[in-house]
């Protein structure tokens, strides 16, 4: 399969941003169907046939389909290798990359930011829960300290260079800023540097203006 038959579904969220940014770093051609998460578009018969989860993002590559932002980014990373994206070459680096991906997605995204989203942006559905939100804020701040400490001596999360972990982290940091978090010093420096990447700027424009 070639680069030309990539189709992405979904735009406007931190999770859809990840694969768009990855594709831009890899200089891939793709078609974007910018459907939203709660517009009713994911409930259509056409989309449900592609993704029974009725969630975004979603990718088609020829007759292969894949959902979940981390899985899609990893697929693109490995299918279209590029000097722009670090790919681990040994078992220890692969395990370390998995560790960071699981940590960021599990603790920062799902357990902290997404729970907050339910009681901020989606409170009409899930209800207001100030105690839950406050607990999530404290939980995220605790994990940001871990990341900040790591960035004292590292320009990117993986010592081998910029890659999937940085894309995941940056999407969460932008999300945290939207929720009015004050980022620690080393994370702030890191974010300012990484956000200068041309692919980041282009992906932001595509994802949030679609």
pLDDT for 125: 82
Residue matched to tokens 């890899």: 26
Beta bridge partners of 9: 33, 58
Range with the lowest mean pLDDT among 5-19, 33-47, 92-106?
Answer: 33-47
Say if CB 41 and CB 47 are below 8 A apart. yes
Structure tokens at 188: 């702030």
pLDDT digits (tens, 9 = 90+) for 43-100: 999 999 999 999 999 999 999 999 999 999 999 999 999 999 999 999 999 999 999 9
For the chain, what is the mean pLDDT? 95
Burial class of residue 12, CB neighbours in 10 A (0-12, 13-18, 19+)? middle
Beta strands in the chain (DSSP E): 6-9, 31-33, 58-61, 64-67
- Residue 130 CB neighbour total at 10 angstroms: 8
Q: Which of 63, 61, 66 is nearest to 29 (CA)?
A: 61
In CATH terms, is domain 3-85 a member of 3.40.50.1970? no
**In the CATH scheme, what is the code of domain 91-197?**
1.20.1050.10
Enumerate the domain spans of the chain: 3-85, 91-197
pLDDT for 2: 60
Longest dimension (CA), the chain: 50
Say if CB 77 and CB 143 are below 8 A apart. no
């Amino acid at each position: 399969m070639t680069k030309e038959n990539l189709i992405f579904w979904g735009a406007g969220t931190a999770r859809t941003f990840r694969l768009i940014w990855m594709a831009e770093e890899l200089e891939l051609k793709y078609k974007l169907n910018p459907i939203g998460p709660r517009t009713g578009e994911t409930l259509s018969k056409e989309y449900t046939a592609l993704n029974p989860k009725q969630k975004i993002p979603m990718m088609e590559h020829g007759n292969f389909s894949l959902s979940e932002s981390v899985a899609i980014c990893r697929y693109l990373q490995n299918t279209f290798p590029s000097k722009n994206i670090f790919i681990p070459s040994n078992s220890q680096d692969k395990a370390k990359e998995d560790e960071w991906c699981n940590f960021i997605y599990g603790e920062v995204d799902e357990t902290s930011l997404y729970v907050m989203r339910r009681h901020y942006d989606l409170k009409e559905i899930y209800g207001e829960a100030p105690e839950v939100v406050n607990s999530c804020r404290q939980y995220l701040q605790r994990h940001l300290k871990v990341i900040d400490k790591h960035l004292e001596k590292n320009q990117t999360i993986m010592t081998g260079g910029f890659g999937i972990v940085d894309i995941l982290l940056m999407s969460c940091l932008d999300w945290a800023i939207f929720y009015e978090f004050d980022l620690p010093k080393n994370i702030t420096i890191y974010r300012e540097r990484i956000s200068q990447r041309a692919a980041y700027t282009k992906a932001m424009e595509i994802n949030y203006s679609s």
